[in-house]
Structure 1
Amino acid sequence: MADVAALAGVSGQTVSRVANNRTNVDATTRARVRAAMRELGYRPNGAARALRSGAFHGIGVIVFELSTFGTTRTLDAIATAATERGYAVNLMPVLDINQRAVTAAFNRLSAQAVDGVIILIEAYLLDEAGVQLPHGLPVVVVDSSAHYDYPVVDTDQFQGAGQATGHLLDLGHRTVWHVGGPVTSYPAAHRRRGWEQTLFDHRREVPPVLFGDWTAPSGYEAGRRLAADPAVTAIFAANDQMALGVLRALHEAGRAVPGEVSVVGFDDMEESAHFWPPLTTIRQSFSALGQHSVESLLEAIAAGGPQPAPISVPTQLIVRASTGHKNG
């Protein structure tokens, strides 16, 4: 900064004002200082600013299972929301969910200067590992349980499953079969409960669940078993990728969709409108999920601690050609 001041013929205080975009510098002086900065390759020191202000304008995200659709879309939404608010995102994947791994991720993020942390780990993995989240940084938990004294932000998985199941019952189907997500998954568990509760509320038979792993191949295997049962006329898959596998299995078995079997997915991934037939599904707003997650964390940062106020993002039923009235 002293070199810039000497080259521009101004005081160090003036250089500081220009570097921090203060308005009390005339245009000519500002231009001369910026020219000196360019010539000398000067850049303001963000770490020094953070030490002075106590704010790093950085958010850490601890995540498990980077490859899943929901995780990648949620990460994208968090990054977008953070950038719009002037925050950088530091991603910290953990390969194993246990107390040591999560604590180590916290410690690494603390060393890299972040103001708070968003945890994106499916709940049962987190809970069963007996993880106690370390103190010292504001935290928001996404897609997890409410067993922590931190804000929890999630899509209303229960509501979405109820919308999917109710839609199929309204079309005249006697009951609805379910291809569920992994038994360790919090979102999958709540979708399963929403499906089950809707059938109970309508006093319908609750068929056994066929579990998949979120992938199209697992949906295909479940779909083959369901396609072989002529009593199956309606299927709710816990995500669109498994629904895609179900559609293939039904097609191979010669069972028309939606003429003989109606299928509903969950997520409304971009490709769902281009399945054949186009997939009826439950849309979750990943952009809203990301915005609420970041806003909750910034509120916790501003308050100097956690603000335990769970947020549930509503879902929307998107009706396409994969569902129809039951024949006969």
Structure 2
Amino acid sequence: MRAIRLHEFGPATNLVLDELPDLAPGPGQVRVAVEASGVHLLDTTLRRGEAGGPIPLPELPTVPGREVAGVVDELGAGVDESWRGERVVAHLGMVPGGYAEQAVTDVGTLIRVPGTLSFAQAVAAVGTGRTALGVVELERPTPDDVVFVPSAAGGVGWLLVQAARHAGATVVAAARGADRTAKVRDLGADLVVDYGLPDWPDRVREHSGGPTLVWDGVGGAVGRAALELLRPGGRFMMFGWSSGEATAVGTADLVGRGITAGWLGQRMRALPGGIPGLAGRSVELAGRGWWRPLVTTYPLADAATAHADLEGRRAPGKVVLTT
């Protein structure tokens, strides 16, 4: 099989296409003929050799990636024959191996992919979708809310805009650049601002009087500006920091303005069904058309370009490798 391997930590160009032996599933496992593999910002951090939060640096050489979708083509001992030929998506968890034409995983990780979804969309739903659903379930919007999504052209933010609209909230969204803001505007957000322009906070404040709920996946200066726009008594939910640093939240913000602030993190595990339950529900919602992921696809052999574009903010939505 063909696979992308990292032999040395460093730049995206260190990702190379190798020929490896075919995989064989063990007891309770299946082999998936991979059609689509998810690329996560965390993958780029690990590729550089930097600590990736709860995921340790891999031993080298390694095949990166933890989200795969495709067709089950081999069964390990004890696996029901009904899985053979099924369209599935799976999150491989702490074990890498997604950037390849084959992946092996426990049968319990599999989620069936509805016929209404492409494999690339399924990959987006299982990874970014579970995060977005966790955000929504922990800080639910109401029709009275003004929801601000600072990273609306990203994989998670794209879904959050749709979820806020379904809730009947007023939706204010931000993205960088004319192309990305145009995409988000097509989703039906009430206001879309370009956070690369200096007047974006003024436009948000003038339009709505400030948000009552912020879903922040950017952090840094943008996240801090969003926090300062929040109305007294508002809610601030952090789920990431694509800028490289988390939004700074102090006691004066919480006590002086009466706001609440939280971090998604391990709180997802306490939701009904935990993280696997969120993934399954996200795929089901995407299959029903309740939300539709935004994906940017690259051939498997172009993984280095996909990493570079993701780091350079040139790839909107979820980045996916296709075989």
Q: Same fold (TM over 0.5)?
A: no
Higher-strand-fraction structure: 2
So what's the TM-score if we normalise by structure 1?
Answer: 0.36
Structure label with greater radius of gyration: 1
Q: Which has the higher contact order (CA 8 A, sep 6+)?
A: 2
So what's the TM-score if we normalise by structure 2?
Answer: 0.37
